[in-house]
Amino acid sequence: MKAQFVNINGEIIPEAEGSVKILTHGLSYGTGCFEGIRGYWNPDTQDIYLFRIREHFERLHDSCRILNIKLPYSPEELVAQTIELVKRNGWKENVYIRPMAFKSDEIIGVKLHDLNDKYYIAATPMGDYISTTGIKCGVSSWRRIDDNMIPARAKVTGGYVNSALAKSEANFNGFDEAIMLNHDGHVSEGSSENIFLAINGELHTPAVTENILMGITRDTIIKLARRDLDMLTRERQIDRTELYIAKEIFLCGTGAQIAPVVEVDHRPIGAGAIGPIAEKISALYGEIVRGYRSEYMDWLTPVFGVAQKNSKKKAASVSSITK
């Protein structure tokens, strides 16, 4: 079901009225930044849970700071605006939320200063972005952007041309997804996902200095591996050929979720099937984001608050009985 409403500069308006002029600076030059946030529908609680939404808006603020964009609302205020937007659209299914801030002046000229800023929050129903049942990857000929070119730690709209080139190249070559190397030839990430390798009973992932986006799902997996699987994660430089000998590989991100890799450059990874570590993490992640693991509820923001209301009603009922 298509979105009926969007939020532009803090005001919820009909989706049909949301538009950008053709000479908008952010459109001409890619001078904008964005986030991707998932909300998961739980049919048992009749609620949508927004996963780690505050952390996403904190990162959006960081991206705006790098691009000299003034965002007039705090992360907490943006969370409240997002909840109201999803409520107004009335979905009862998984959703994807796209906040974006950008230079909004209609001028010709490349710069970041002395320009006006604008932001919007849009949302849409969304299933899997890429397959979660085993994908084939190819190492891209396109190198990952460098921090001194377009800051990789910021989700800059113009920087995703780099990702698009790698993704299309991979698809044209018969792969599902690309794996990108940095300027030194070390593994960086997928076209829009972080990457993990399982080697000798440990997880390995490129360090933040390898021009990766500091992914919120990446951080989630590091925490889950330590708490629930008793697995250490090493953040380090990873060579291309380590991809070929890893026991398991999986990509991760808000859009991708947990995407096990079964082949790289026509070489099977492990047994050429989803491995036990990726399977466990994927199952755990799926339970957490839908509100089935009480110990991780602090990562979730309910849209309708149904579970909270039922909990309060139950507590009140128990209280009246005990009296």
Catalytic residues: 155
* Angle, in degrees to the nearest 10, between helices 75-89 and 53-66: 120
The answer to whether the CB of 118 falls within 8 A of the CB of 2 is no
The answer to whether the CB of 182 falls within 8 A of the CB of 188 is yes
Task: Please give the structure tokens belonging to residue 45.
Answer: 């609680």
The answer to whether the CB of 239 falls within 8 A of the CB of 187 is yes
Q: What are phi and psi of 211, to 5 degrees?
A: 60, 40
The answer to whether the CB of 2 falls within 8 A of the CB of 15 is yes
What is residue 76's three-state secondary structure? Answer: helix
Taking the C-alpha atoms of residue 180 and residue 323, their distance in angstroms, rounded to an integer, is 64
> How, if at all, do strands 5-8 and 47-51 pair?
unpaired
Residue spans of alpha helices (H) in 74-159: 75-89
Helix then strand count (H, E) for the chain reads 8, 17
Taking the C-alpha atoms of residue 267 and residue 273, their distance in angstroms, rounded to an integer, is 12
Radius of gyration of the chain from its Cα atoms, rounded to whole angstroms? 21
Q: What are residue 106's DSSP bridge partners?
A: 24
End-to-end CA distance of the chain: 47
Taking the C-alpha atoms of residue 313 and residue 301, their distance in angstroms, rounded to an integer, is 19
The answer to whether the CB of 135 falls within 8 A of the CB of 261 is yes
